Copies of this chain bind each other. A is one copy, B any other.
């Protein structure tokens, strides 16, 4: 940690800062420059909120933290890339790019099964579908609950697709966990820490969508909450951040892919559907995500987007999704990867 003193702070006013460092059992290394002094702080372990303790001292202009606040999510403590296996045949974070597809919401048995068959035939390996839906308005459709989970389980039984579905609150973790293969934590809940800890104890992989205005560092700290409970299987999913631009629902931060990969061993996915908010742009963003090195994609597909109870405008229909898959495969190969296609499917 580095403490930057205000310009012109005299040496005697730096001493209390140095003393405070010593009181905490750490070592201070002051560097006296022209008019400005900095104090390097070293020692182990640095308390997590150490910067706040010093920012408040007289004469201190600001404090720069050098070490990262997350440990389990970073490369230092886990030098190999995290690879997550779902049964014998589905691998997330390996060489192959994983495609998750499905409707925003599980609406009916027929809609879900039709989508499952369509995305399976096109080469997806996981089925998404919300049974518990966070909605901006209390008056909107909020999902079928456990009945939706049962439909998802049936789709899995019929197609062999693994399933991923959102859990919104700690008390639902048990029921969702009885059905799902992967827990999804939505963007709005990315800093719902008690939920993160609950899924951290639930023994199944967790996909953590990035909050709408979350710094990448904060996102990794959210992953750390899950991992600190003993669950190493976290997947990060970028789904667009909120900016001033209104032409898309959100702004896909495609840079998050290489940035996360430089900081963390966790797999990183792209959700082009929530980022775009408009069906016409989904394909381009999906291709960009794979080209940037994403380990997977999560794409909204609905058999009849114009009848969807939620997010129809950003959903591909089955033929659009099927047409996109060979392009994704080609781009994956262009960057030295491949799509993970179920063995019985040809793309």
Q: Which A residues are closer than 8 A to B by beta carbons?
A: 2, 4, 7-8, 29, 31-36, 38, 40, 42-44, 48-49, 52-53, 55-57, 64, 66-67, 69-70, 76, 134-141, 168-171, 188-189, 191-195, 197, 212-213, 215-218, 221, 224-225, 228, 241-248, 251-259, 262, 275-276, 278-281, 283-285, 287-293, 305-313, 315, 327, 330-331, 333-335
Contact = CB atoms under 8 A, between A and B. Distances in A.
Contacts of A307: 53
A41 to B, nearest CB: 8
A251 B67 CA distance: 24
Contacts of A29: 29, 31
Contact of A313 (B52, B225, B283): B52
Contacts of A194: 168-169
A245 B253 contact: yes
B312 A221 contact: no
Contacts of A195: 169
Given A281-B258, A334-B334, A38 B66 contact: yes
Nearest to A243: B243
Contacts of A335: 287, 327, 330-331
A245 B163 CA distance: 32
A249 to B, nearest CB: 10
Nearest to A226: B138
A221 B137 contact: yes
Contact of A255 (B31, B32, B252, B290): B252
Question: Which of A48, A69, A193, A289 has the largest number of chain B CB atoms within 10 A?
Answer: A193
A243 B247 contact: no
Contact of A330 (B253, B257, B334): B334
B213 A213 contact: yes
Nearest to A51: B313
Contacts of A289: 288
A295 to B, nearest CB: 13
Given A285-B292, A312-B55, A327-B335, A136 B244 contact: no
Given A66-B36, A293-B284, A306 B218 contact: no
A217 B56 contact: no
A24 B69 CA distance: 34
A68 to B, nearest CB: 8
A333 to B, nearest CB: 7
A169 B172 CA distance: 12
